[in-house]
Amino acid sequence: MNTEHHLSRRERQIMDVLHARGQATAAEVLAALPNPPSYSAVRALLRILEEKGHAKHHRDGARYVYLPRLSRAAASKSALRRVVSTFFKGSILEAMAALLENSDTEISDEELSKLREMIKQAKKEGR
């Protein structure tokens, strides 16, 4: 399967819609896109995403309902790896620092505790 970075901007937007909704018809995808192209363009892009192995569909009466092939969790990990690689030169430290410095929301004590445990576990595993 091709990775996330082989998607065009519009293909990525469509996959974002499918991941956010879980599944969607071409009309639902069209309605959710910013500055949407034509309906036929959305259908063509959905077919391309299927050919690339990113999406699949099933029939619901006369409609095709599209779903992502990867789970939301797997897709989010892939997207995060791409962001860290592209914008932070692969540095987890720089990515975390940016998240912590630019966050509009406060991190709760519970979240900080979980982060500490995750770091401790990563050290144990040699990561």
The CATH code of the domain that includes 31 is 1.10.10.10
pLDDT value of position 3: 47
| Residue tagged 């901007």 (tokens) | 9
| Tally of domains in the chain | 2
119/64 same-domain check: no
Main-chain dihedrals φ then ψ at residue 64, nearest 5 degrees? -100, 130
Reading the chain (127 residues) residue by residue, the pLDDT tens digits are: 444 558 899 999 999 999 999 999 999 999 999 999 999 999 999 999 999 999 999 999 999 999 999 888 888 888 888 899 999 999 999 998 888 887 777 888 999 899 999 999 999 998 7
- Expressed as residue numbers, the domain containing 101 is 91-127
Could you tell me the pTM of the whole model? 0.67
pLDDT of residue 2: 42
Collapsed DSSP state (helix, strand, coil) of residue 58: strand
Task: For residue 62, give the DSSP letter.
Answer: T
Query: Does residue 59 sit in the same domain as residue 98?
Result: no
Q: How far apart are CA 42 and CA 30, in angstroms?
A: 7
